[in-house]
Chains A and B, each alone.
Chain A
């Protein structure tokens, strides 16, 4: 197995709170890694550090053997890491279709010289992207919502849409922050089955989730975090039975 992302000795402190404490972790190609731990353990901070939204105090993050620490969020996304947010971010005043279209990479229409002087190319790629976006919406059963504002979707559909935006951005590594928290069981099934298919398409996933059934279902490896440290690592069963994990939850 080839490693895709390697996090070495990452530290992050916020005014006396240790969010990451000498954190080390790696993820291989085509793997789904579960990241679990109590609230405030530093899981979301880890995502923010990997994706460049929060700079680490120290440490190194390598993606495909390339140092991405200190890069901007947009660059990191363009290298091939996409993410969702725990507090669900979407462009609510745009339609579902536009949200997905926004996510596609290398759009000629994002450059003004093309908008004014290579209109045919812009139109061609835009209609191709539209087709791809419709396909994504169709496969996940929200095609009929394509022209609704994202704001008008149910919470579960919004979570699904933010996952679709991640998929449209064609990243090799997806960081999903509680993708199924607070939604109905049918939607949970749907989202989990999408995630489960990703390794077959050459993608890897790190998923933060409190729902242990879901973790058991889709992850073959789990990292347990507490107070910014990696406490335990292994198969879901191993981690669940690790005395250190039990102790951390009882604290």
Chain B
């Protein structure tokens, strides 16, 4: 049971991460491979607040969202000038910078040793420590993320995001200030990713920089693409499938060391296969295909 709840909590964390990336990549067409950096920023901000200032969980999660959104804006602004592949490289650089800071600012972040002993959340006097209470909290946060994202993509604001994805020039010709929309969605995407970071930090109670590398970003992208870009349910489905897949490997009796490597191969293989034969993922409506860029 504990094992199942543990899986459920991780599915929840990745649903939040993939929905938040989907807003940016799937709906607005801005592919970023720095998403794990925002995940990490959320985790570190909340962990440091809790450890150094002993501040309450709700304040920590709020500040983690704000901090991540502000940094998101700083990364989003270059996206107005550099496009497509070049922007992907820029987000990669951002990912490396964040990792280096977390890894080298030893006095503050603990460097490679990480931050142990992160307190578990206490919300309105209720301590969240059991697997079941964490599952409930993550479900609420997933629902919140889905609600916010769904509201955005179904609104006229979301219509403009899709227009930017399909044809920026047309959107501009209809008077839409596309730069403002890009920065805003970048901030929202980064802010929501921070929620996942906070949950990870307080659930595991230990974080170190290796949890927030480019590999993690690529895993999140895989969820978005395989689940289906431009469809929020696609991200939910993708997270469920990709988190459960390696667990299935466990049951066919592979030794752990082999399973870990097979896991990476499986993700890579799946990503290539989907890109080739089903670029829209399970239920997506957008393909990262050069032909739809004009």
Name A's B-contacting residues (CB within 8 A).
Answer: 51, 53, 72-75, 77-78, 82-83, 85, 89-94, 98, 101-103, 105, 107, 109-112, 115-116, 122, 126, 165, 169
Number of residue pairs A-B, CB distance < 8 angstroms:
87
**Counting chain A CB atoms within 10 Å of each CB, which of B156, B162, B167, B286 scores highest?**
B156
Partner of B162, one of A85, A91, A116: A91
Query: Would you call A111 and B173 a contact (CB within 8 A)?
Result: no
Partner of A77, one of B167, B173, B188, B292: B173
Query: Would you call B285 and A116 a contact (CB within 8 A)?
Result: no
Query: Would you call B167 and A89 a contact (CB within 8 A)?
Result: yes
A53 contacts which chain B residues (CB < 8 A)? 169, 172-173
In the bound complex, CA of A122 to CA of B158 (Å): 13
Partner of A110, one of B160, B169, B286: B160
Task: Say yes or no: is B178 at the interface (Cβ < 8 Å to chain A).
Answer: yes
Query: Would you call A73 and B172 a contact (CB within 8 A)?
Result: yes
Label chain B's interface by main secondary structure: helix
Task: Say yes or no: is B6 at the interface (Cβ < 8 Å to chain A).
Answer: no
Query: Would you call A72 and B177 a contact (CB within 8 A)?
Result: yes
Query: Would you call B170 and A90 a contact (CB within 8 A)?
Result: yes
Interface residues on B, range: 20 to 34
Task: Say yes or no: is B166 at the interface (Cβ < 8 Å to chain A).
Answer: yes
B170 contacts which chain A residues (CB < 8 A)? 85, 89-91
* 25 residue pairs bridging A and B, Cβ less than 8 Å apart: A73-B169, A75-B175, A77-B174, A82-B173, A85-B170, A85-B173, A89-B173, A90-B167, A91-B163, A91-B167, A92-B166, A93-B285, A94-B163, A94-B166, A101-B159, A102-B174, A102-B176, A105-B175, A109-B157, A111-B157, A112-B152, A112-B157, A115-B151, A115-B152, A115-B156
A74 contacts which chain B residues (CB < 8 A)? 172, 175-178
Name B's A-contacting residues (CB within 8 A).
Answer: 148, 151-152, 155-157, 159-160, 162-163, 166-167, 169-178, 184, 188, 285-286, 292, 294
A103 contacts which chain B residues (CB < 8 A)? 174
Q: How far is the CB of B130 from chain A (nearest CB, A)?
A: 33
B176 contacts which chain A residues (CB < 8 A)? 74, 102, 110
Partner of B173, one of A51, A93, A122: A51
In the bound complex, CA of A61 to CA of B11 (Å): 57
In the bound complex, CA of A94 to CA of B286 (Å): 12
User: When A91-B162, A91-B163, A115-B151 are in contact, do A109 and B156 touch as well, CB less than 8 Å?
Assistant: yes
Q: How far is the CB of B218 from chain A (nearest CB, A)?
A: 26
Partner of B166, one of A78, A91, A105: A91
User: When A74-B178, A109-B155, A112-B152 are in contact, do A102 and B163 touch as well, CB less than 8 Å?
Assistant: yes
A92 contacts which chain B residues (CB < 8 A)? 166
In the bound complex, CA of A52 to CA of B170 (Å): 13
Query: Would you call B173 and A102 a contact (CB within 8 A)?
Result: no
Q: How far is the CB of B182 from chain A (nearest CB, A)?
A: 12
B169 contacts which chain A residues (CB < 8 A)? 53, 73, 85, 89
9 further A-B contacts with Cβ under 8 Å, apart from A73-B173, A109-B155, A169-B175, are A51-B173, A72-B177, A75-B175, A90-B170, A91-B162, A93-B286, A115-B156, A115-B157, A122-B156
B166 contacts which chain A residues (CB < 8 A)? 91-94
Q: How far is the CB of A48 from chain B (nearest CB, A)?
A: 10
| Closest A-B pairs by Cβ, 4 of them | A109-B156, A77-B175, A89-B170, A73-B172
